Amino acid sequence: MANKKNLLIALLTAGISAMAQEKKDGLITLQLGANDTMHTVTAQVNDLATKAPLKGVEITFYVQRTFGVMKVGNGTTDTTGVITAEFPLSIPAGDTLGNLIALAKVEDNAVINDTIFRATIKTKLSFPAHTPVKAGLISSTPPLWLQLVFWLVVAMVWGSFAYALYLVYRIKASASKKIFINQ
């Protein structure tokens, strides 16, 4: 694709030693890209020591969200140590600047130790979106009818309370004599 743009963003290692001695430490190279409709994320898994591609490593891909991560795909590496997943361009993740963080996670794998790699990509979609959300009950701006009904009800109730207190005042005003207290 002409507009296909691949970016190599980050390489991180996090060698978490596993119980089994025969497991290797892995190196994951994450490559993020995009076509017309989808983001693509490609992971290349190599042995950290020998740099040889590792086959049969199950990887789960996530994107970072505000309070957690969202799974977008998973799979197992082929003989060349490569696995690719796709997720929509309109995925609601990333920040207001359009930075989207993708993660590749290996857990309980027989070949390499548990590890996480992450990469950041600049997307065309900023999130949360800058475009104002249409007014509704669950939006940030209440609709006019709700504001009117809300304040009308509040005014009616508190107005009734005020009137009841006014009647109490009139009770006092309608007393024919002043009452004195004997000491």
Partner 1 sequence: MEKLSQDIKDRVELELLSTVGRRYRQETFWVIFLALVCIGGTVAWIIQLRKGLGVTAMRDYVSWGLYISLLFFFVGVSLIGALISSILRFSGAKWRYPLIRIAEAVTLSAILFAGFMPVLDMGRPERLYFLITHGRIQSPILWDVLAIGTYFFGSVIFFYLPLIPDVAIMRDKLTDIPVWRKKVYRRLAMGWEGNPTQRRLLKKAMWLMSVVILPVAVSVHTVSAWLIAMTLRSGWNTSIMGPYFVFGALMAGCAIMILIIAILRHGYHLEHYLTPTHFSRLAACLLALTAFYLYLNVNKYGVPAYKMAKDERYLLQDLFTGRQSLLFWFTQVAGLLLPIVLLSFKRIRESIKGVVSVAVMVLLGALINRYLIVVPNMLHPFVPIQHAQPGFASYNPTLIEWMITASSLAGFVLLIILLFKPFPVITMWEVIEGVEKSGEQAVGVEHLSNIQIIQGHGK
Asked if residue 142 binds partner 1 (CB under 8 A), the reply is yes
Q: What value, to the nearest 5°, has the Cα angle with vertex 65 and ends 115 and 70? A: 60
Count of C-beta atoms within a 10 Å radius of residue 69: 18
Rounded distance, CA 11 to CA 175, Å?
87
- For 114, the 3-state DSSP assignment is coil
Among 22, 37, 140, 145, binds partner 1 (CB under 8 A): 140
| CB closer to partner 1 out of 2 and 164 | 164
Residues in region 83-122 near partner 1 by CB under 8 A: none
Asked if residue 1 binds partner 1 (CB under 8 A), the reply is no
**143 neighbors 136 (Cβ within 8 angstroms):** yes
Backbone angles phi and psi of 63, in degrees to 5: -120, 145
Sketch the per residue contact string, 146 through 165, with partner 1: x for CB under 8 A, - otherwise: xx--x---x--xx-xx-xxx
CA distances (Å), origin 50, targets 10, 27, 45, 59: 20, 10, 12, 20
Residues in region 52-71 near partner 1 by CB under 8 A: 68-69
Residue 31 CB, nearest approach to partner 1 (Å): 26
Asked if residue 80 binds partner 1 (CB under 8 A), the reply is no
Contact positions toward partner 1, by CB under 8 A?
68-69, 137-140, 142, 146-147, 150, 154, 157-158, 160-161, 163-165, 167-168, 170-172, 174-179, 181-183
